[in-house]
Structure 1
Amino acid sequence: MKGMTTCELPAVQVPGLLSTRFVRLLVMVFGSGLSMYLLTSVVPLYLAANGSGGVGVGLSTGAMMFAAVAVELLVPRMLARWGYQVVLGLGLVLLGAPSLVLLATASLPIVLAVCVVRGAGLAILVVGAVALVAEVAPSTRRGEALGVYGVAVGVPAVIGLPLGVYLTNLIGFDALFVLAAVASLAGLVTLIGLPAASTEKQQVRVLGGVRGSGLLMPTFVFASVTVAAGISVTFLPLAVAGGNHSLVAAALLLQAIAAPIARWLAGRYADRIGPARVLGPALVLAAAGAAGLIFFGNPIAILAGSVLFGTGFGAAQNLTLTLMYNRVDRSRYGQVSALWNLAYDGGWGAGAILFGAIVGGTGYPLAFALTAAVVAAAVVPAVRAA
């Protein structure tokens, strides 16, 4: 009708995501991730080349991850007492500097000690960084922020996992150890401008109040996937016939590319429809990919399995973490980060150690089949949660 005006709805303000603090955090995460992934598959190769058997190789990954698990229980308390800058700086030093010790020796006890110290640094960085993402990101875009963080973590895997294996024949182990140290220590300059401490008093007990909180299911579901992840990056280079480093590098590259892409996409969908509804399909993909490694003598099966597993693994990373953050208030962000990383590193380390212990008796096909079964078992609680 004439004389009437339409009401204009105010534009919805979408909070910005890439703030200066978030970008600094992403740069630090990239460098520390590169330091980790350059040596993830190289240290087992280094030990194998110097006479350590399958148990020793598995212990190298297990030592790093179980050291990380032990320290992750302490990180929320460290953050509450000293703040993000000090604690993250300590993590960068512990992750990077011990790599230089490997220049002097390949003795299994010393290498394992290096892995333990690096695991402590890794624990500090992953728990602190994930908690800081939730701190600085808008709550309405948390899933997407965790997806972007996943890309910052995943790109070093894309570069480091295959590049580390490839460069062992090109520049040697020593140059890789130096490169890994520099990549982590350079991140110290990015700490300027990051928040000194959380805006709220934090829950410092990692296991306190977990029962009935809704955090146990995503924690154990994610651990089942990380079991397979630790096995694939540790033993695939040893399982492939003839030590075909080019094939292994290609498989690790595809897995590393698929994971951050899936992690980002899963975050976007989780913000819209909820993470629980996407978690089941993600685990199905991960289980199918792990099953592909049973046919480790077939290059197509290895490459296809790596893509499927990387996709499911990357999506599960984001979905389980977003689900956990959505179930708690801000005061428990550090606790959620620690629990999630316990699942990550505990599963990774347990997978490597157990696989190394049983593969000599079962052979690689059956051992990989058992790995796929562990992942597949997690589909049921994930579907029920939806």
Structure 2
Amino acid sequence: MKQSVARMPGMPQILITFGLSISSLAVLLPASPAWAVAGGAGSFGAGATNAVLMAVTVATQFSVPTLTRHFSWAHVLPLGTILLGLPSLIQLISPALTNILLTSALRGVGFGIVTVCCSSAMSYLVPLEYRGRAVGLYGLAAAGSQMFFTPVAPWAIEVFGHRPVIAVGAIAALAAPFAFQLGRSVDRYLAQDQEGKPTISATPKTSTTTIIKRIWPALLTLTLVTSVGGAFMTFSTEIAPTATLATGGLLLLCLLATPTRLYGGSLTDRFGTRLLMTPVLGFVALGLVLLALMDGASSLSVLFFLLGASIMGFGYGFLQSVTMVRALSDAGGADATQRASVAWNSHFDIGTGLGALAIGALEQSTNFATAWVVAALILALCALGMGLRDARS
């Protein structure tokens, strides 16, 4: 009988810990900036709340391997869930921008720990032949939580007020017992993995440069797809002729990204990652071309916009799972896995911010149509180059 991946040792704890953590993140992504505005901050101050969150997240991700090596997984991972959740209760005390920025920075430390530890734990505890399905479930836990909490947060603020919604951000702290169980499982795995092996001082570690050389196709693909996805989420209201159409485009992107994260991972168990990654990246480029063809509010333009958003949503979810499986598989031994996870998570965050910056700069000097065409050409050329490289190897 085929074994259920969701019930494999460690997977329930991974899914619960990550799902609750993403729920905390998703509800405050719109709520914290709105709380800052309510306290008198301008648009720059409101935007700085999430900018600080993501900057601290990326900075923390690079220190997680050192933290877990010195303090154990069973101590570090629960601390991450607590730091992500409990500062929400401090944030709701006052809408002063200083308070929001400080608590956002603390939450960034927690989120950086959780993202790296959960993805690394999955690669340690789940057998290789089941890893694609595990990554799919992992992506579903993230996308499902985000799809619900992020759109609901603005409505909930209007109905219940800011403080009750911000308090929901503390939900990540509820994951601490599950994170502790998961941390102990990984500590046991790593201890058993080292039995009978040479001491760490005698075992040469794979350098970070070598790991990046092995996994760069996955990192480049992830950065490209999160860049255009982040740009679309940032500028959808400016691209679409009406707010209703912008909402429809965002909803299509989220709805398609959720199941494709699940099935993208599952398909890698059957077909591998090289057969799937670059064709889908090229398909996303087609979606960008459709966005570039928009011209006003005609029926054809609306169709182009919705089709482009749908294609982007498909690739946005699908390639997140495929690139994670490929990065963890190509990294090499156990000593490289956690650093590959750090690289994957940091490139996801970097891509999300970079895309909005690049598309915004291109639009300012030209227009959105030109910006999408340039982005489509970059994606298509990268897909062709990496596809030919994979075919040769």
What is the TM-score when the length of structure 1 is the normalising length?
0.82
Distance 1:173 1:207, change over 3 A: farther
Partners of 2:97 and 2:58 in 1: CA distance: 21
Q: Which amino acid aligns with 2:282?
A: V
Q: Which residue of 2 aligns with 1:9?
A: none
Query: What does residue range 83-94 of structure 1 map to in structure 2 within 5 Å?
Result: 83-94=72-83
Contact 2:14/2:182 (8 A) holds in 1: yes
Report the Cα distance in structure 2 between the residues aligned to 1:48 and 1:372, rounded to whole angstroms: 35
CA distance in 2, matches of 1:371, 1:168: 36
CA distance in 2, matches of 1:35, 1:19: 25
Contact in 1 for aligned 2:79/2:176 (Cα 8 Å) = no
8 A Cα contact 2:249 2:305, kept in partner: yes
Partner in structure 1 of residue 210 of structure 2: 209
Q: Say if 1:57 and 1:356, in contact at 8 Å, map to a contact too.
A: no
- Identify the match of residue 344 of structure 2 among 318, 340, 345: 340
Structure 1 counterpart of 2:86, from 93, 97, 117: 97
Match in the other structure for 1:310: 313
Flag the 1:67–1:35 CA change in 2: closer, same or farther, 3 A: same
Q: For residue 321 of structure 1, give the secondary structure of its aligned residue in structure 2.
A: helix
Q: Give the whole-Å Cα distance in 1 for the aligned partners of 2:347 and 2:54.
A: 10
User: Which whole-Å CA distance do the structure 2 matches of 1:206 and 1:63 have between them?
Assistant: 29
Could you list the runs of 5+ residues in structure 2 that have no partner in the other structure? 195-199
The alpha-carbon distance between structure 1 residues 37 and 290, as it changes in their structure 2 partners (threshold 3 A), is farther
Structure ranking higher on relative contact order (CA contacts 8 Å, 6+ apart): 1
CA contact (8 A) 1:284 1:376 kept: yes
Alpha-carbon separation, structure 2, partners of 1:318 and 1:124: 20
Q: Does 1:140 align with 2:129?
A: yes
Q: CA RMSD in A?
A: 3.2
Relative to structure 1, the CA distance from residue 211 to residue 192 in structure 2 (aligned partners, 3 Å threshold; closer, same or farther) is closer
Report if aligned partners of 2:223, 2:347 keep a CA contact under 8 Å in 1.
yes
Structure 1: runs of 5+ lacking an equivalent: 1-12
Map 1:195-234 → 2, pairs under 5 A: 195-196=183-184, 197=187, 198-199=189-190, 200=193, 207-210=208-211, 212=213, 214-234=214-234
CA change 1:128–1:85 in 2 (3 A) is same
Give distance in 1, aligned partners of 2:309 and 2:350. Answer: 21
Instruction: Find the aligned partners of 1:21 and 1:80 in 2 and give their Cα distance.
Output: 19
| In 1: Cα distance, 2:104 partner to 2:375 partner | 24
2:175 counterpart of 1:187? yes
SS at match of 2:208: coil
**Which stretch of the first structure deviates more once superposed, 144-153 or 260-269?**
260-269
- Distance in 1 between residues matched to 2:343 and 2:222, nearest whole Å: 10
Secondary structure (helix, strand or coil) at the match of 2:108 reads: helix
2:67 aligned with 1:63: no
Counterpart selection for 2:114 from 115, 119, 125: 125
Q: 1:247 to 1:370 in 2, by over 3 A?
A: same
Instruction: Give the partner amino acid of 1:180.
Output: G
**Counterpart position of 2:259:** 261
Aligned residue type for 2:219: T
Partner residue in 2 for 1:278:
276
Structure 2 length as normaliser, TM-score? 0.81
1:336 and 1:322 map into 2 onto residues whose CA distance is 11
Q: Distance in 2 between matches of 1:39 and 1:312?
A: 25
Flag the structure with higher helix content.
2
Is contact 1:161-1:252 (8 Å) kept? no
Structure-2 separation of matches of 1:260 and 1:129: 19
**Aligned in 2, Cα 1:144/1:211: closer, same or farther, shift over 3 Å?**
closer
Q: Is the 8 A contact 1:72 1:123 kept in 2?
A: yes
